[in-house]
Structure 1
């Protein structure tokens, strides 16, 4: 093994009634992100830059539940969350309660690089966005449809990306609009380092699914810990974490290792996902 690798996800727990044309649109979006990431990595881009770049793409397109496509709270408002982590030095940044920033993942990276903190939320995060000139601001349509589909058919989900670059450096990023109809102030797993996002010198992991179950399992960190302490390979570690750590919760995981391996797993009804490696392999999928 060796070389660069990318994995992206658009959420686990896909509604089986999702129309075929919407499934095809999701696959096109994920494939397009993989092409962008592959081009960047061929040019020598670092993992941290690529995960931010691809999650920005997914936030900007309204298909998935992040950025422009975010789900609405019980009050019909938007509270976005994101995190990013750089494996080689384990620096990280996270934000919650974001209402107007187009790309929360970029604000999370600003927190990592330009603040003394790892996590900012709600008004403090919005104030920091203004200080950092992160934008542009946006507003949301709070109609009865989500991305052109009736609420009864649409189950929006989180986005994420993991990358290992040609130097063996790993990075991960995750972004979400949270649960549809969630209580205001609810924070899920996506911005929590070790739960929804984790990267270290061994691997990078991004999770999606039932946030409360992922938080209880510290699922992303657990994949890395299983590799480190049990000595399992990447795919084995993902499989073990999904099977043994979720206590009945439904979730999905994407991961890469420093050796250029890529892996994913889920115990839900499908997961929007795709991966690409330096040797030319690429695939996108939704179902088992």
Structure 2
């Protein structure tokens, strides 16, 4: 992996300061970053009461604090994202775990995925019921099975074999989600008309060792039929992590995120953008009298700027929009930048790094 918060060294430090972390960073405490989301969509201030606004911000802060605590104490990115996602799976404000939307038949079918950027191991589950923390089950698929994705009854059997916590089905259901399904059927609405926001939850992180992880959990779309599966449990669409570039978790209209392959597309673009920028920097190195570069820039001495990464992330979300889809992503880069991108009026989100107290936000102009 290219350097995580690694400084430029040597006589050319000043020349390449634009691309590098200051040398003083070598003496700082180990660095880490985390970002979370709780869904994106048509989220407008005028449609939120002060109480609702405060409730979402408090829920996001709890999840963010849980994940950050793991990283602050030297824990792994994998443990941090699970610690951040599980409180949101338990919170009926979000469409994941308890509070998940209902299928056309009034059932709850849960999807989740997780990926380790260090090894690119991954696990996912789709269409499961009764499992309190689908993100935990996805991780067990990764670590305790030879597979990447399990679905339905098979995934539930595996969860039972692993001794994972289950809850009665009525624990997951909320009146708000029941009303949404009834309104959808009574008024012949589409899932998009009912779900003005996508309540999928997710987290991405980089730990003190420079390892990254990503995870996503969801109940899908109101009134989904025929075993519909969105992007959340699909590695490369809704979730992806690769220490060479970034970790991504997505939320939005899953069909479009699948078609674009959003999560892996972002990571791939960042890898290529990094190479383009390092090549450009190398061309600026003074030449010797023999016409050879006086210095070769090493990957460990170079970092992609946050703005450069943001351009690539925004381009992918722009591609989703061009096809007719909407939603957003959270991204952690290998340099530790915690970034957001969305083409909706809001996304429940938060981020924190070892540099400061962090932030939570809802609306796109925050």
Range into which the TM-score falls when normalised by the shorter chain:
over 0.9
Deviation at 1:273, TM superposition (A): 0.5
Contact 1:63 1:147 (8 Å CA) reproduced: no
Contact 1:30 1:274 (8 Å CA) reproduced: yes
The verdict on how the C-alpha distance between 1:143 and 1:275 changes in structure 2, with shifts beyond 3 A counting, is closer
CA distance in 2, matches of 1:51, 1:102: 16
CA distance in 2, matches of 1:15, 1:33: 20
Contact 1:5 1:164 (8 Å CA) reproduced: yes
* Deviation larger for 112-121 or 257-266: 257-266
Q: Aligned to 1:178, which of 206, 216, 220? A: 220
Instruction: List alignment gaps of at least 5 residues for structure 2.
Output: 6-30, 184-193, 275-303
TM-score, normalised to structure 2, is 0.75
Contact 1:81 1:176 (8 Å CA) reproduced: yes
Contact 1:234 1:255 (8 Å CA) reproduced: no
The verdict on how the C-alpha distance between 1:19 and 1:135 changes in structure 2, with shifts beyond 3 A counting, is same
How many residue pairs match? The answer is: 288
Q: From the CA coordinates, give the structure whose radius of gyration is larger.
A: 2
**Structure 1 stretches (4+) deviating beyond 4 angstroms?**
141-144, 147-156
Q: What is the aligned partner in structure 2 of residue 280 from structure 1?
A: 356
Instruction: List alignment gaps of at least 5 residues for structure 1.
Output: none
CA distance in 1, matches of 2:67, 2:106: 34
Contact 2:40 2:328 (8 Å CA) reproduced: yes
Within 5 Å, which residues of 2 pair with 1:96-245? 96-140=126-170, 144-146=175-177, 155=197, 157-201=199-243, 202-231=245-274, 233-245=308-320
The verdict on how the C-alpha distance between 1:165 and 1:191 changes in structure 2, with shifts beyond 3 A counting, is same
Q: What is the aligned partner in structure 2 of residue 249 from structure 1?
A: 325
Residue 9 of structure 1 aligns to a residue whose secondary structure is strand
Residue 132 of structure 2 aligns to a residue whose secondary structure is coil
CA distance in 1, matches of 2:145, 2:167: 21
Matched, 1:21 2:51: yes
Deviation at 1:133, TM superposition (A): 0.8
Contact 1:227 1:237 (8 Å CA) reproduced: yes
The verdict on how the C-alpha distance between 1:138 and 1:156 changes in structure 2, with shifts beyond 3 A counting, is farther
Contact 1:73 1:184 (8 Å CA) reproduced: no
TM-score, normalised to structure 1, is 0.94
Deviation at 1:108, TM superposition (A): 0.3
Deviation at 1:281, TM superposition (A): 4.3
CA distance in 1, matches of 2:93, 2:318: 29
Q: What is the aligned partner in structure 1 of residue 27 from structure 2?
A: none
Contact 1:15 1:153 (8 Å CA) reproduced: no
Deviation at 1:259, TM superposition (A): 1.5
Contact 1:18 1:154 (8 Å CA) reproduced: no
Deviation at 1:32, TM superposition (A): 1.4
* Deviation larger for 267-276 or 243-252: 243-252
Q: What is the aligned partner in structure 2 of residue 263 from structure 1?
A: 339
* Deviation larger for 260-269 or 12-21: 12-21
Residue 55 of structure 2 aligns to a residue whose secondary structure is helix
Q: Which structure's residues are more often helix, by fraction? A: 2
Deviation at 1:31, TM superposition (A): 1.0
